[in-house]
Amino acid sequence: MRRYGGTAGDLCFFFAPGRVNLIGEHTDYNGGNVLPAAISMGMRAAVRYTGGRSVRLSSLDQPGSHDLDLDGEVFFDERDGWTNYPKGVAAYLLHAGYRLRGCEVLYSSDIPVGAGLSSSAAIEVLTAYLLLFPLLGDSVDRVWMARMCQAVENRFVGVGCGIMDQFTVAMGKRDTAILLDCSSLKYKYIPAKLGDSRMVIMDTGKRRRLEESEFNERRRQCEQALSVIRLHKDIPNLCSATLEDVEAYVPDPTLQKRARHAVSENQRTMAAAELLARGDLEGFGSLMVESHYSLKNNYEVTGPELDAIVEEALSQRACLGARMTGAGFAGCAIALVWAAEVPGFREKVTGGYKLRTGVDASIYDCSLGDGARAGIPELPFPR
Protein backbone atom coordinates (compact mmCIF):
# COMPACT_ATOMS: atom_id res chain seq x y z
CA MET A 1 0.00 0.00 0.00
CA ARG A 2 1.31 3.42 -0.89
CA ARG A 3 0.82 5.91 1.95
CA TYR A 4 3.00 8.81 0.87
CA GLY A 5 4.21 10.53 -2.31
CA GLY A 6 7.85 11.22 -3.29
CA THR A 7 10.58 8.71 -4.02
CA ALA A 8 12.58 6.37 -1.81
CA GLY A 9 15.58 8.65 -2.47
CA ASP A 10 14.36 11.42 -0.14
CA LEU A 11 13.78 9.13 2.83
CA CYS A 12 15.77 9.31 6.07
CA PHE A 13 15.78 6.39 8.50
CA PHE A 14 15.90 6.34 12.27
CA PHE A 15 15.89 3.72 15.00
CA ALA A 16 15.14 3.65 18.72
CA PRO A 17 15.55 0.46 20.79
CA GLY A 18 13.33 -1.17 23.38
CA ARG A 19 14.85 -1.93 26.78
CA VAL A 20 15.03 -4.58 29.43
CA ASN A 21 15.59 -3.78 33.05
CA LEU A 22 18.10 -6.24 34.48
CA ILE A 23 17.23 -5.28 38.06
CA GLY A 24 15.91 -2.24 39.97
CA GLU A 25 12.17 -2.42 39.44
CA HIS A 26 9.81 0.30 40.65
CA THR A 27 12.75 2.15 42.17
CA ASP A 28 13.08 4.92 39.57
CA TYR A 29 10.12 7.03 40.73
CA ASN A 30 11.25 6.38 44.32
CA GLY A 31 14.59 8.11 43.75
CA GLY A 32 16.55 4.87 43.65
CA ASN A 33 18.88 3.05 41.27
CA VAL A 34 18.03 1.00 38.17
CA LEU A 35 20.15 -1.25 35.95
CA PRO A 36 18.52 -1.35 32.49
CA ALA A 37 19.94 -1.92 29.01
CA ALA A 38 18.79 -1.04 25.51
CA ILE A 39 18.13 -4.08 23.30
CA SER A 40 18.57 -4.89 19.63
CA MET A 41 14.79 -5.03 19.07
CA GLY A 42 13.23 -1.66 18.50
CA MET A 43 11.24 0.79 16.46
CA ARG A 44 12.21 2.21 13.08
CA ALA A 45 10.95 5.26 11.24
CA ALA A 46 11.17 6.25 7.59
CA VAL A 47 10.88 10.03 7.33
CA ARG A 48 10.46 12.44 4.44
CA TYR A 49 10.99 16.08 5.44
CA THR A 50 8.56 18.12 3.37
CA GLY A 51 9.24 21.67 4.46
CA GLY A 52 5.48 22.10 5.04
CA ARG A 53 3.75 22.85 8.34
CA SER A 54 2.28 19.46 9.12
CA VAL A 55 3.53 16.12 10.42
CA ARG A 56 1.81 13.01 9.07
CA LEU A 57 2.04 10.03 11.43
CA SER A 58 1.38 6.51 10.23
CA SER A 59 2.49 2.98 11.14
CA LEU A 60 2.91 -0.37 9.44
CA ASP A 61 1.82 -2.14 12.62
CA GLN A 62 -1.03 -0.11 14.04
CA PRO A 63 -4.23 1.19 12.52
CA GLY A 64 -4.96 4.90 12.17
CA SER A 65 -2.89 7.84 11.06
CA HIS A 66 -2.86 11.43 12.13
CA ASP A 67 -2.02 14.79 10.55
CA LEU A 68 -0.60 17.20 13.05
CA ASP A 69 -0.64 20.94 12.38
CA LEU A 70 2.65 22.48 13.55
CA ASP A 71 0.98 25.89 13.80
CA GLY A 72 -2.07 24.69 15.76
CA GLU A 73 -2.76 23.50 19.31
CA VAL A 74 -2.00 19.83 19.96
CA PHE A 75 -4.23 18.00 22.47
CA PHE A 76 -4.41 14.46 23.85
CA ASP A 77 -7.42 12.69 22.36
CA GLU A 78 -8.30 9.11 23.36
CA ARG A 79 -9.58 8.49 19.82
CA ASP A 80 -6.13 9.20 18.37
CA GLY A 81 -4.78 5.97 19.98
CA TRP A 82 -1.03 5.36 19.58
CA THR A 83 -0.50 8.66 17.75
CA ASN A 84 -0.95 10.48 21.08
CA TYR A 85 2.67 9.56 21.94
CA PRO A 86 4.27 11.29 18.92
CA LYS A 87 1.68 14.07 19.13
CA GLY A 88 2.70 14.72 22.76
CA VAL A 89 6.37 14.86 21.81
CA ALA A 90 5.72 17.35 19.01
CA ALA A 91 3.58 19.46 21.37
CA TYR A 92 6.37 19.60 23.98
CA LEU A 93 9.07 20.43 21.41
CA LEU A 94 6.93 23.23 19.95
CA HIS A 95 6.30 24.51 23.45
CA ALA A 96 10.06 24.47 24.09
CA GLY A 97 10.40 26.84 21.12
CA TYR A 98 11.76 24.53 18.41
CA ARG A 99 10.70 25.48 14.89
CA LEU A 100 10.06 21.94 13.66
CA ARG A 101 10.05 20.99 10.00
CA GLY A 102 6.99 19.33 8.50
CA CYS A 103 7.45 15.68 7.56
CA GLU A 104 5.81 12.37 6.82
CA VAL A 105 6.70 9.60 9.26
CA LEU A 106 6.12 5.88 8.85
CA TYR A 107 6.85 3.77 11.94
CA SER A 108 7.51 0.05 12.12
CA SER A 109 8.36 -1.92 15.25
CA ASP A 110 9.39 -5.37 16.36
CA ILE A 111 8.82 -4.55 20.06
CA PRO A 112 5.53 -6.08 21.20
CA VAL A 113 3.21 -3.37 22.58
CA GLY A 114 2.24 -3.63 26.26
CA ALA A 115 4.88 -6.30 26.91
CA GLY A 116 7.10 -4.34 29.30
CA LEU A 117 9.87 -3.68 26.75
CA SER A 118 9.17 0.06 26.54
CA SER A 119 7.46 0.40 23.20
CA SER A 120 6.05 3.74 24.41
CA ALA A 121 9.45 5.16 25.40
CA ALA A 122 10.80 3.95 22.03
CA ILE A 123 8.19 5.85 20.02
CA GLU A 124 8.59 8.95 22.20
CA VAL A 125 12.38 9.10 21.95
CA LEU A 126 12.37 8.11 18.27
CA THR A 127 9.92 10.91 17.48
CA ALA A 128 11.88 13.49 19.47
CA TYR A 129 15.10 12.43 17.76
CA LEU A 130 13.72 12.55 14.22
CA LEU A 131 11.89 15.85 14.73
CA LEU A 132 15.02 17.48 16.17
CA PHE A 133 17.39 15.90 13.64
CA PRO A 134 17.10 18.61 10.93
CA LEU A 135 17.84 21.23 13.61
CA LEU A 136 20.47 19.53 15.78
CA GLY A 137 21.69 16.41 13.99
CA ASP A 138 23.16 13.94 16.45
CA SER A 139 24.22 16.67 18.88
CA VAL A 140 20.87 16.62 20.68
CA ASP A 141 21.22 16.57 24.48
CA ARG A 142 20.06 13.00 25.11
CA VAL A 143 19.44 13.37 28.83
CA TRP A 144 17.27 16.42 28.18
CA MET A 145 15.45 14.50 25.44
CA ALA A 146 14.77 11.60 27.84
CA ARG A 147 13.41 13.96 30.51
CA MET A 148 11.20 15.71 27.99
CA CYS A 149 9.79 12.35 26.81
CA GLN A 150 9.12 11.33 30.41
CA ALA A 151 7.19 14.59 30.88
CA VAL A 152 5.11 13.73 27.80
CA GLU A 153 4.23 10.34 29.26
CA ASN A 154 3.48 11.78 32.73
CA ARG A 155 1.49 14.84 31.70
CA PHE A 156 0.24 14.29 28.14
CA VAL A 157 -0.48 10.53 28.22
CA GLY A 158 -1.11 10.36 31.98
CA VAL A 159 1.14 7.51 33.16
CA GLY A 160 3.24 8.37 36.24
CA CYS A 161 6.31 6.47 35.01
CA GLY A 162 9.83 7.26 36.16
CA ILE A 163 12.80 8.21 33.96
CA MET A 164 14.26 4.72 33.41
CA ASP A 165 12.72 3.78 30.06
CA GLN A 166 13.25 7.03 28.19
CA PHE A 167 16.77 7.38 29.61
CA THR A 168 17.74 3.89 28.46
CA VAL A 169 16.25 4.26 24.99
CA ALA A 170 18.14 7.55 24.53
CA MET A 171 21.43 6.57 26.23
CA GLY A 172 21.83 2.82 25.67
CA LYS A 173 25.21 1.42 24.66
CA ARG A 174 26.01 -1.91 23.06
CA ASP A 175 26.81 -4.78 25.46
CA THR A 176 26.44 -2.56 28.51
CA ALA A 177 23.88 -1.90 31.20
CA ILE A 178 23.35 1.55 32.69
CA LEU A 179 23.52 2.01 36.45
CA LEU A 180 21.36 5.10 36.83
CA ASP A 181 20.73 6.97 40.06
CA CYS A 182 17.26 8.31 39.31
CA SER A 183 17.39 11.08 41.92
CA SER A 184 20.50 12.80 40.52
CA LEU A 185 20.54 11.27 37.00
CA LYS A 186 24.19 10.36 37.58
CA TYR A 187 24.94 7.23 35.58
CA LYS A 188 27.66 4.73 34.91
CA TYR A 189 27.96 2.28 32.03
CA ILE A 190 28.50 -1.24 33.37
CA PRO A 191 29.95 -3.71 30.84
CA ALA A 192 27.55 -6.67 30.83
CA LYS A 193 30.08 -9.42 31.47
CA LEU A 194 27.78 -12.29 30.64
CA GLY A 195 30.60 -14.70 29.80
CA ASP A 196 29.11 -17.94 28.48
CA SER A 197 25.58 -16.94 29.40
CA ARG A 198 22.84 -14.96 27.61
CA MET A 199 20.04 -12.76 28.83
CA VAL A 200 16.90 -14.05 27.14
CA ILE A 201 13.52 -12.37 27.12
CA MET A 202 10.48 -14.51 27.91
CA ASP A 203 7.23 -13.03 26.65
CA THR A 204 4.20 -14.41 28.51
CA GLY A 205 1.94 -13.47 25.58
CA LYS A 206 -0.28 -11.64 28.06
CA ARG A 207 -0.60 -7.88 27.54
CA ARG A 208 -1.41 -4.95 29.77
CA ARG A 209 -1.95 -1.24 29.40
CA LEU A 210 -0.24 0.85 32.06
CA GLU A 211 -3.09 3.37 32.10
CA GLU A 212 -5.43 0.55 33.15
CA SER A 213 -3.05 -1.17 35.52
CA GLU A 214 -2.37 -0.37 39.13
CA PHE A 215 0.89 1.38 38.26
CA ASN A 216 -0.28 4.83 39.35
CA GLU A 217 -1.74 3.34 42.53
CA ARG A 218 1.63 1.77 43.48
CA ARG A 219 3.28 5.12 42.94
CA ARG A 220 0.76 6.81 45.24
CA GLN A 221 1.27 4.16 47.92
CA CYS A 222 5.01 4.80 47.86
CA GLU A 223 4.41 8.53 48.23
CA GLN A 224 2.18 7.82 51.23
CA ALA A 225 4.83 5.59 52.82
CA LEU A 226 7.43 8.32 52.29
CA SER A 227 5.30 10.99 53.94
CA VAL A 228 4.75 8.78 57.00
CA ILE A 229 8.50 8.13 57.33
CA ARG A 230 9.18 11.85 56.93
CA LEU A 231 7.19 12.53 60.12
CA HIS A 232 10.20 10.94 61.87
CA LYS A 233 13.16 11.38 59.58
CA ASP A 234 14.23 13.88 56.95
CA ILE A 235 14.94 11.83 53.80
CA PRO A 236 14.90 12.99 50.15
CA ASN A 237 13.08 9.94 48.73
CA LEU A 238 11.76 6.52 49.68
CA CYS A 239 14.85 4.63 48.49
CA SER A 240 16.94 6.61 51.00
CA ALA A 241 15.05 5.00 53.88
CA THR A 242 16.45 1.91 55.61
CA LEU A 243 14.53 -1.32 56.15
CA GLU A 244 14.54 -0.47 59.89
CA ASP A 245 12.83 2.88 59.12
CA VAL A 246 10.19 1.04 57.14
CA GLU A 247 9.47 -1.46 59.93
CA ALA A 248 9.48 1.22 62.63
CA TYR A 249 7.58 4.06 60.99
CA VAL A 250 5.13 2.59 58.45
CA PRO A 251 2.34 0.85 60.42
CA ASP A 252 -0.03 0.18 57.51
CA PRO A 253 0.77 -3.38 56.32
CA THR A 254 0.20 -2.68 52.62
CA LEU A 255 2.27 0.51 52.59
CA GLN A 256 4.95 -1.28 54.60
CA LYS A 257 5.22 -4.03 51.98
CA ARG A 258 5.45 -1.52 49.13
CA ALA A 259 8.18 0.44 50.92
CA ARG A 260 10.04 -2.74 51.87
CA HIS A 261 10.23 -3.64 48.20
CA ALA A 262 11.47 -0.20 47.09
CA VAL A 263 14.19 -0.05 49.76
CA SER A 264 15.41 -3.65 49.39
CA GLU A 265 15.29 -3.51 45.59
CA ASN A 266 17.47 -0.43 45.57
CA GLN A 267 20.06 -2.21 47.75
CA ARG A 268 19.92 -5.29 45.50
CA THR A 269 20.46 -3.13 42.41
CA MET A 270 23.67 -1.59 43.68
CA ALA A 271 24.97 -5.00 44.74
CA ALA A 272 23.94 -6.54 41.40
CA ALA A 273 25.79 -3.86 39.40
CA GLU A 274 29.02 -4.79 41.18
CA LEU A 275 28.46 -8.50 40.60
CA LEU A 276 27.75 -7.93 36.90
CA ALA A 277 30.87 -5.80 36.46
CA ARG A 278 32.90 -8.61 38.09
CA GLY A 279 31.24 -11.26 35.93
CA ASP A 280 29.78 -13.04 38.98
CA LEU A 281 26.86 -14.61 37.13
CA GLU A 282 25.68 -16.89 39.95
CA GLY A 283 25.57 -13.96 42.37
CA PHE A 284 23.77 -11.78 39.85
CA GLY A 285 21.27 -14.56 39.09
CA SER A 286 20.33 -15.05 42.73
CA LEU A 287 19.63 -11.32 43.14
CA MET A 288 17.36 -11.53 40.07
CA VAL A 289 15.37 -14.24 41.86
CA GLU A 290 15.15 -12.22 45.11
CA SER A 291 13.96 -9.26 43.07
CA HIS A 292 11.18 -11.28 41.43
CA TYR A 293 9.88 -12.61 44.74
CA SER A 294 9.89 -9.16 46.30
CA LEU A 295 7.90 -7.88 43.31
CA LYS A 296 5.51 -10.80 43.79
CA ASN A 297 5.08 -10.76 47.56
CA ASN A 298 5.75 -7.16 48.58
CA TYR A 299 4.94 -5.06 45.54
CA GLU A 300 2.31 -7.46 44.14
CA VAL A 301 2.83 -6.61 40.48
CA THR A 302 3.71 -9.99 38.97
CA GLY A 303 0.47 -11.89 38.29
CA PRO A 304 -0.06 -15.56 37.38
CA GLU A 305 1.56 -15.54 33.94
CA LEU A 306 4.80 -13.82 34.98
CA ASP A 307 5.05 -16.08 38.03
CA ALA A 308 4.45 -19.19 35.92
CA ILE A 309 7.10 -18.34 33.33
CA VAL A 310 9.69 -17.39 35.96
CA GLU A 311 9.03 -20.64 37.86
CA GLU A 312 9.35 -22.65 34.65
CA ALA A 313 12.65 -20.89 33.88
CA LEU A 314 13.99 -21.45 37.40
CA SER A 315 13.16 -25.16 37.22
CA GLN A 316 15.74 -25.50 34.40
CA ARG A 317 19.33 -26.29 35.41
CA ALA A 318 20.60 -24.04 32.60
CA CYS A 319 19.03 -20.99 34.25
CA LEU A 320 21.10 -18.82 36.60
CA GLY A 321 18.27 -16.45 37.52
CA ALA A 322 14.99 -15.05 36.26
CA ARG A 323 12.62 -12.21 37.05
CA MET A 324 9.87 -10.10 35.58
CA THR A 325 11.07 -6.94 33.81
CA GLY A 326 9.39 -3.54 33.45
CA ALA A 327 6.21 -2.50 35.18
CA GLY A 328 4.87 -6.04 35.60
CA PHE A 329 1.20 -7.19 35.74
CA ALA A 330 1.89 -9.10 32.48
CA GLY A 331 4.34 -8.79 29.59
CA CYS A 332 7.91 -10.06 29.74
CA ALA A 333 10.34 -11.65 32.14
CA ILE A 334 14.07 -12.18 31.62
CA ALA A 335 16.31 -15.15 32.36
CA LEU A 336 20.06 -15.55 32.55
CA VAL A 337 20.81 -18.83 30.78
CA TRP A 338 23.98 -20.69 29.78
CA ALA A 339 24.36 -19.81 26.07
CA ALA A 340 24.85 -23.38 24.86
CA GLU A 341 21.63 -24.44 26.57
CA VAL A 342 19.35 -21.72 25.15
CA PRO A 343 17.60 -23.93 22.51
CA GLY A 344 16.67 -26.62 25.07
CA PHE A 345 15.68 -23.96 27.60
CA ARG A 346 13.41 -22.31 25.06
CA GLU A 347 11.63 -25.57 24.28
CA LYS A 348 11.17 -26.65 27.91
CA VAL A 349 10.03 -23.26 29.20
CA THR A 350 7.52 -22.64 26.40
CA GLY A 351 6.24 -26.23 26.75
CA GLY A 352 5.86 -26.08 30.55
CA TYR A 353 4.29 -22.63 30.40
CA LYS A 354 1.76 -23.72 27.78
CA LEU A 355 0.75 -26.69 29.95
CA ARG A 356 0.23 -24.44 32.97
CA THR A 357 -1.52 -21.51 31.33
CA GLY A 358 -2.73 -22.66 27.91
CA VAL A 359 -0.91 -19.67 26.41
CA ASP A 360 1.95 -19.64 23.88
CA ALA A 361 5.02 -17.83 25.17
CA SER A 362 7.78 -16.44 22.93
CA ILE A 363 11.46 -16.42 23.82
CA TYR A 364 13.55 -13.64 22.27
CA ASP A 365 17.28 -14.19 22.22
CA CYS A 366 18.29 -10.57 21.56
CA SER A 367 21.43 -8.65 22.41
CA LEU A 368 22.10 -5.43 24.35
CA GLY A 369 22.37 -2.60 21.84
CA ASP A 370 22.85 1.14 21.28
CA GLY A 371 20.39 3.97 21.95
CA ALA A 372 18.40 6.05 19.44
CA ARG A 373 20.22 6.84 16.21
CA ALA A 374 19.91 7.88 12.57
CA GLY A 375 20.41 5.76 9.49
CA ILE A 376 19.14 2.22 9.56
CA PRO A 377 19.47 0.88 6.01
CA GLU A 378 18.08 -2.65 6.35
CA LEU A 379 14.41 -1.77 6.70
CA PRO A 380 11.28 -3.80 6.27
CA PHE A 381 9.53 -0.92 4.49
CA PRO A 382 7.72 -1.48 1.20
CA ARG A 383 9.18 0.38 -1.80
Distance CA 129, CA 89 (A): 10
Binds ligand GLA (CB under 6 A): choice among 275, 327, 334, 363? 327
With b meaning 16 or more CB within 10 Å and e meaning fewer, what string describes 106-126? bbbbbbbebbbbbbbbbbbbb
Of the pair 26, 323, the CB lying nearest ligand GLA is at 26
Q: How many residues bind ligand GLA (CB under 6 A)?
A: 11
Distance CA 263, CA 238 (A): 7
Q: Which amino acid does the sequence have at 44? A: R
Q: Which stretch binds ligand GLA (CB under 6 A): 3-11, 21-29, 228-236, 362-370?
A: 21-29
> Cβ of residue 171: shortest distance to ligand GLA, in angstroms?
14
String of contacts with ligand GLA for each residue 276-315, x by CB under 6 A: ----------------------------------------
Tell me the CA distances in angstroms from 31 to 219, 223, 266, 329, 361, one per residue in order: 12, 11, 9, 22, 33
Binds ligand GLA (CB under 6 A): choice among 20, 26, 125, 269? 26
Q: Which stretch binds ligand GLA (CB under 6 A): 23-31, 136-144, 226-234, 340-348?
A: 23-31
C-beta of residue 17 within 8 angstroms of C-beta of residue 44 = no
Of the pair 229, 327, the CB lying nearest ligand GLA is at 327
The residues with which 321 forms a beta bridge, in sequence order, are 336
> Cβ of residue 21: shortest distance to ligand GLA, in angstroms?
6
Of the pair 26, 48, the CB lying nearest ligand GLA is at 26
Does position 25 bind ligand GLA by CB under 6 A? yes
> Cβ of residue 73: shortest distance to ligand GLA, in angstroms?
27
> Cβ of residue 125: shortest distance to ligand GLA, in angstroms?
12
The residue annotated as part of the active site, out of 77, 80, 165, 203, is 165
C-beta of residue 262 within 8 angstroms of C-beta of residue 238 = yes
Catalytic residue at 370? no
Of the pair 169, 368, the CB lying nearest ligand GLA is at 169
> Cβ of residue 287: shortest distance to ligand GLA, in angstroms?
15
Does position 353 bind ligand GLA by CB under 6 A? no
Does position 326 bind ligand GLA by CB under 6 A? yes
Of the pair 145, 161, the CB lying nearest ligand GLA is at 161
Q: Which amino acid does the sequence have at 87? A: K
Q: Can you list the alpha helix ranges (DSSP code H) found in 158-250?
A: 164-171, 215-230, 243-249
Burial of 356 (0-12, 13-18, 19+ CB in 10 A): middle
Measuring CA to CA, which residue among 88, 63, 65, 57 is closest to residue 75?
88
Measuring CA to CA, which residue among 198, 175, 202 is closest to residue 364?
202
Task: Give, as one character, the DSSP assignment of residue 232.
Answer: T
Task: Give, as one character, the DSSP assignment of residue 137.
Answer: G
Of the pair 193, 207, the CB lying nearest ligand GLA is at 207
Distance CA 76, CA 150 (A): 15
Distance CA 29, CA 12 (A): 35
Burial of 71 (0-12, 13-18, 19+ CB in 10 A): exposed
Q: Which stretch binds ligand GLA (CB under 6 A): 26-34, 70-78, 348-356, 360-368?
A: 26-34
Which residue lies nearest ligand GLA, judged by its C-beta? 161
Of the pair 38, 106, the CB lying nearest ligand GLA is at 38
Q: Restricting to residues 124-183, which ones interact with ligand GLA according to CB under 6 A?
A: 161-162, 164-165
Distance CA 117, CA 111 (A): 7
Catalytic site positions: 165
> Which residues bind to ligand GLA, rule: CB under 6 A?
21, 25-26, 28-29, 161-162, 164-165, 326-327
